[in-house]
Amino acid sequence: MATVELREATKRYRDGTVAVRRLSLEVRDGELMILVGPSGCGKTTALRMIAGLEEIDEGDLLIDGEVVTELTPKQRDIAMVFQSYALYPHMRVAENMGFALKLAGVAREEIDRRVLEAARVLDLEGLLHRKPGELSGGQRQRVAIGRAIVRDPRVFLMDEPLSNLDAKLRVQMRAEIAQLQRRLGTTTVYVTHDQTEAMTLGHRVAVMRDGVLQQLATPAELYEQHANLFVAGFLGSPGMNLLPGRVERGHLHLPIGDVPLPPGAGAAVGDGPVIAGIRPEHFEDAAVAGDRPGAVRIRTRLDLVESLGRERFAHFHAEGEGLDHDRLARLAGEAAGPRTIVARLDAASRLRGGEVAELTLSPGGIRLFDPETGERLAGGGGSGAGAAHAPDAGGGPMRLTA
Amino acid sequence: MTSVATRPDAPGGDVAAAPRRRRMTRARREERRTALAMLSPAVAVIVAVAFLPVLYTIYLSFHDATVTRTGGWVGFDNYSGALRDEVFRTALANTVIFTVVSVALELALGLAIAVGINRAFRGRGLVRTAVLVPWAFPVVVSALMWRLMLQDQVGIITYVVQELGITDSPILGDRWPLMIAAILVDVWKTTPFMALLLLAGLQTIPRDVLEAAEMDGATAWQRFRDVTLPLLRPAILVAVLFRTLEAWSVYDLFWVMTDRRLDSLSTYVYEGVRVSQLQFATGTAAAVLVFISSIVIALVFIKGFGAKTLQEDER
């Protein structure tokens, strides 16, 4: 039971690169906080700073309100699950799980009792006498988690714990970790590059890019009220479509057609160029959707239609001028996504690649961004006004990459 | 065989299935035969080069042999002769002391050096290369060099030792100073080799595992004792095995540095077989004893301690 707080924490490597820049976030007691971002965004470094495996060059780390910046990992009372599991190959499962307790001088009967209890929780009872080399990937993963929970630490840290598992096992373990964390109620910081994991597991999610926190919010808020282009593009699969646009007198002119903005929203944005973000699910096959109130119809030739059984993805491209991709790459980074537009269609759609199709677009789903800074602009449905600031970030206003 | 190989494809799947299976096993048998045929010249060369001389030496050791003739069968007389020989017993004791002490010192120092240079610091590459310099010298050269430094009239070490009042007698005169000098030279020369083998072992230990131990609350010493050492065990066993076998057959160092005043098993064999022809038969028996004891040492390491010289199946 603990709170974890980073205050303006910075990590600088010897060659001068800044891995984490003035990171401030507060993890509440019992919360499962996700650090997510593309590789190299500093999320793992941030986790290792909390662990005490990396020194914090500037700023502070507080656990339960107490500054622990200078303390060793041992003194911080934190357990960590490594991406590689990092089990001790020469020790049996029971010894692996009991190692920390043994070092702490806990009596043998007590160690045995606690190891057995953790093994029961994780379904490892039959494997206690095996060595890590004799276990499957999923079993090793359980042992690594068991090694952490046996200690009953104040905080759990997990560094991409599911990335070495196959897809099916990953979904299963994801659910188990969520359940386990809820049952134990231990404050947890969890690092992943997988936005699905972040959205499904996290109570709150901190999105990072280039060592800088982009937004800290609940998954639902992140999806709907993203602070900037990067967050918008990073979350969701397939990613958000980004199109150049221009607002004029309450209308949004897009390469795929003109869309009326909701009353008031147009005024809030003001006339001028924007970047419009449209999620694939805000498109639909007009033949399936029928006449939805407020929906805009667009005609386009489809390049390709992919069927995933339950849904279909139609790829098409906009006529006319495209976005300046260099600028987009700077604003959204890896989240910029492909240049074609992707629409998610109902499985009932009969559209095929090469056809000229009629699609509907719900204007309420459109998000507008400043083309210079990438910051979210108000408008396009939803109450975007407060989204530029992370709710309850505990560490001042959001810093945006310009 | 040829008839099967050139047989046209039988019409109809059912008919073809059964012979095809037989053809597979026949093909495999044929493959093995070819493999054996191709290996046999190499095997013959190994037998001729490695096993025949050994077998011939064993054969000689049971005969009243001299350099020029094989002589008659004498059973174990040569062996009991060697074992009764005071010089042989001293040589055996010298070899045991030399092997145990020098390998132990090399392991301790080599481990310390390996741990020391297995971390990032400025000029690490240079240090790693510099550490290997003593090992690159031929034994004869380093033995001569040290002999000069230990020499009782012009030797720098002798001078320092005498000035400090540690001893007055010449270092290369008595058995124990000689032994100590030989051990120190061997340690000086082969510790780098030991360190290099152990360093290779250290580098296979994943950093994550050590960090996990740190998270588990292990101090630096506990991490070394409970994680590094157990994981380094295979590398230690192989390094110690190699060094033990090498030290057990020590010859050139003793011969050159001590001017034949300190005997090892190998110098005893050489003196018996080559220098004093009267001892030829005893020498061959001693040679066989060295050979057998080396095999026993290797077996103890491999079977007893589980040293894996070729591969490692951990993880």
Q: Label residue A77 left, alpha or beta by phi (over 0 means left) and psi (-120 to 50 means alpha).
A: left
* CATH code of the domain in which B211 resides: 1.10.3720.10
Residues of A in contact with B313 (CB under 8 A): 133
Is the pLDDT reported for residue B67 higher than 50?
yes
Is the pLDDT reported for residue B20 higher than 70?
no
Cβ contacts of B1 within 8 Å, gap of 6 or more: B26, B30
pLDDT at A266: 61
A interface toward B at CB cutoff 8 Å? 51, 53, 72-74, 78-80, 82-84, 86-90, 99-100, 103-104, 132-133, 147, 151
Task: Tell the burial category of B40 from Cβ atoms under 10 Å away from its Cβ (0-12, 13-18, 19+).
Answer: exposed
The answer on B299 and B159 residing in a single domain is yes
The answer on B16 and B147 residing in a single domain is no
**B174 touching A, CB under 8 A?**
no
Tell me which residue range forms the domain holding B44. 2-49
From the list B297, B103, B294, the residue with the least C-alpha distance to B197 is B103
Residues B257-272 have pLDDT tens digits of 877 778 888 888 888 7
Residues B134-170 have pLDDT tens digits of 888 888 888 888 888 887 777 888 888 888 877 777 7
Cβ contacts of A340 within 8 Å, gap of 6 or more: A303, A315, A316, A317
pLDDT at A392: 36
Number of neighbouring beta carbons within 10 Å of residue A119? 21
The reply to whether B112 falls in a domain is: yes
pLDDT at A386: 35
Is the pLDDT reported for residue B9 higher than 50?
no
Residues of chain A below pLDDT 50? 380-402
B21, two tokens: 């299976």
pLDDT at A396: 34
pLDDT at A388: 35
Q: Rounded to whole angstroms, what are the CA distances from B181 to A50, A287, B95?
A: 53, 96, 14
Q: How many CA atoms lie within 13 A of A81 on its CB side?
A: 26
Cβ contacts of A374 within 8 Å, gap of 6 or more: A228, A229, A230, A275, A331, A332, A400, A401, A402
The reply to whether B293 falls in a domain is: yes
How many secondary structure helices (H) and strands (E) does chain B include? 16, 0
The structural domain count of chain B equals: 2
Longest distance between any two alpha carbons in chain B, whole Å: 100
Most confident of A321-335, B167-181, B232-246: B232-246
Cβ–Cβ under 8 Å, residues B236 and B244: no
Q: Give the integer Cα–Cα distance in Å for B193 and A118.
A: 45
Q: With an 8 Å Cβ cutoff, are A133 and B315 in contact? A: yes
pLDDT at B271: 81
Tell me how close the Cα of A218 comes to any Cα of chain B, in angstroms.
Answer: 29
The answer on B127 and B7 residing in a single domain is no
For B314, the closest of A73, A89, A100 (CB atoms) is A89
The reply to whether B93 falls in a domain is: yes
Q: Give the integer Cα–Cα distance in Å for B78 and B86.
A: 14
**What does the mean pLDDT of chain A come to?**
85
Give the DSSP H/E element, type plus range, for residue A367. Answer: strand A367-369
Domains plus CATH for chain A? 4-224 (3.40.50.300), 231-382 (2.40.50.140)
Q: Rounded to whole angstroms, what are the CA distances from B313 to A133, B197, B307?
A: 9, 18, 12
From the list A148, A235, A238, A159, the residue with the least C-alpha distance to A200 is A235
Residues of A in contact with B206 (CB under 8 A): 84, 86
Query: A199-203, A366-370, B6-10, B20-24: which has the minimum mean pLDDT?
Result: B6-10
pLDDT at A390: 35
Cβ–Cβ under 8 Å, residues A272 and A246: yes
The reply to whether B74 falls in a domain is: no
Residues of B in contact with A151 (CB under 8 A): 216
Please give the torsion angle defined by the CA atoms of residues A20, A25, A27 and A33, in that order, rounded to the nearest 10 degrees: -60
Residues of B in contact with A79 (CB under 8 A): 215-216
Most confident of A342-351, A370-379, B10-19, B69-78: A342-351
The answer on B166 and B98 residing in a single domain is yes
Q: With an 8 Å Cβ cutoff, are A51 and B218 in contact? A: no
Residues A26-84 have pLDDT tens digits of 999 999 999 999 888 999 999 999 999 999 999 999 999 999 999 998 899 999 999 99
Tell me how close the Cα of B216 comes to any Cα of chain A, in angstroms.
Answer: 5
Give B6 or A1, the one with higher predicted confidence: A1
The answer on B99 and B36 residing in a single domain is no
When pLDDT is cut at 50, 70 and 90, the band that residue B315 belongs to is very low
pLDDT at B169: 72
**B214 touching A, CB under 8 A?**
yes
pLDDT at A384: 36
The reply to whether B143 falls in a domain is: yes
Q: Sheet holding A311-316: strands in order across?
A: A283-285, A356-361, A296-307, A311-316, A341-346
pLDDT at A140: 93
Tell me how close the Cα of A308 comes to any Cα of chain B, in angstroms.
Answer: 39
**What does the mean pLDDT of chain B come to?**
82
Tell me how close the Cα of A291 comes to any Cα of chain B, in angstroms.
Answer: 58
Cβ–Cβ under 8 Å, residues A357 and A314: yes
Residue of B nearest to A135 (CA): B315
pLDDT at B120: 72
Q: With an 8 Å Cβ cutoff, are B206 and A86 in contact? A: yes
* Residue pointed to by tokens 């390998």: B103
The answer on B148 and B282 residing in a single domain is yes
Cβ contacts of B149 within 8 Å, gap of 6 or more: B155, B156, B157, B158
Residues of B in contact with A80 (CB under 8 A): 211-212, 215
Radius of gyration of chain B (CA): 28
pLDDT at B150: 82
The reply to whether B41 falls in a domain is: yes
**B212 touching A, CB under 8 A?**
yes
The reply to whether B64 falls in a domain is: no
Is the pLDDT reported for residue B275 higher than 70?
no
The reply to whether B219 falls in a domain is: yes
The answer on B149 and B18 residing in a single domain is no
Phi, psi of A215 (to 5 degrees): -165, 145
When pLDDT is cut at 50, 70 and 90, the band that residue B4 belongs to is very low
